[in-house]
Structures are given as C-alpha cells and as structure tokens.
Amino acid sequence: MPTLPWTTPNPPPAGTEMLVFASRFETRTLWGALKFFARTPAVWRQVGRAPGAYGATLKAAPLKRTFWTLSAWESPRALKDFAASAPHGPAAGGLRGQMKDSEFLTWKASAGDLPLDWEDALRRFR
C-alpha cells in the first residue's frame, strides 16, 4: 500500500493546538481510483504551500479503490480555504461521481503530536 511520507509545510509553534483532519474515500470502480490517483500530485504540491497546513500524508490502496488522508491544520478556516481552492476544490468536485463512499473525521491535537500516527487515525475510522 503506497503511502506518501509526512510532509511539514509550516512547522507549528511549540504547544500549539491544531485541527486534525482525516478522510477515507472509496471509488466505485478502478477507473475512479485511477482518476483519484492521477489528481494526487497536483493536490500534494498544493498542500506543500498551503497557508496554515502543519502537515499531511496520504495512504493509498488503489486496487481496493480506497484512499485515506491525514493532515494537521492551524484552524478550521485554513482547512476550508485549502479544500475550496485549486487544484483541490476542482479535483474533488470532478471526482464526486466516482465516489462510492467517503468519511471525514476531525479532532484536536497538539504540535508535539506531529507527525500524526496512521494507526491512531485508522483506529478512529473503525
């Protein structure tokens, strides 16, 4: 299962409380998974320059048509601005018809918890 390594675009100040966002996407078809995978590099580059992004990673199981994201943000506003802007916003909108199922989770964590732990995140989805 390919996993993009944790990237830290903007290191948070020590002791900062941050918003953690996790998502799980399952596409209807392998074609949908391929489309998701094809859009990933542009969105990954966007994360690397996103204001308020403290870190992110992505885990992919393309043959199972399932993708997970895990990210840390300065605020809900920073996450919302990222999600709405290009290339993420248009990419997400263009994939809606390909999705079989999606799930989103948020919780609070402190800067000392970075990088975030995949085991913890996946446990929260169960």
| Strands 66-73 and 99-110, sheet pairing | unpaired
Asked if residue 1 has pLDDT above 60, the reply is: no
Kindly list the structural domains of the chain, giving each domain's residue range(s) and its CATH number in brackets, ordered by start.
17-125 (3.30.70.100)
Q: Is the pLDDT of residue 2 over 90?
A: no
Q: Is the pLDDT of residue 126 over 90?
A: no
DSSP 12: P
| DSSP-based three-state secondary structure for 84 | helix
Please tell me the predicted confidence (pLDDT) of residue 86: 96
Whether the per-residue pLDDT at 84 is higher than 90: the answer is yes
**Confidence check: pLDDT of 11 > 90:** yes
pLDDT tens column, 29-82:
999 999 998 999 999 999 999 999 999 999 999 999 999 999 999 999 999 999
Q: For residue 97, how far is the Cα from the chain centroid?
A: 19
What mean pLDDT comes out for the span 10-19?
Answer: 95
Angstrom distance (rounded) from CA 13 to CA 108: 15
Q: What percent of the chain has pLDDT over 70?
A: 99
pLDDT at 108 over 90: yes
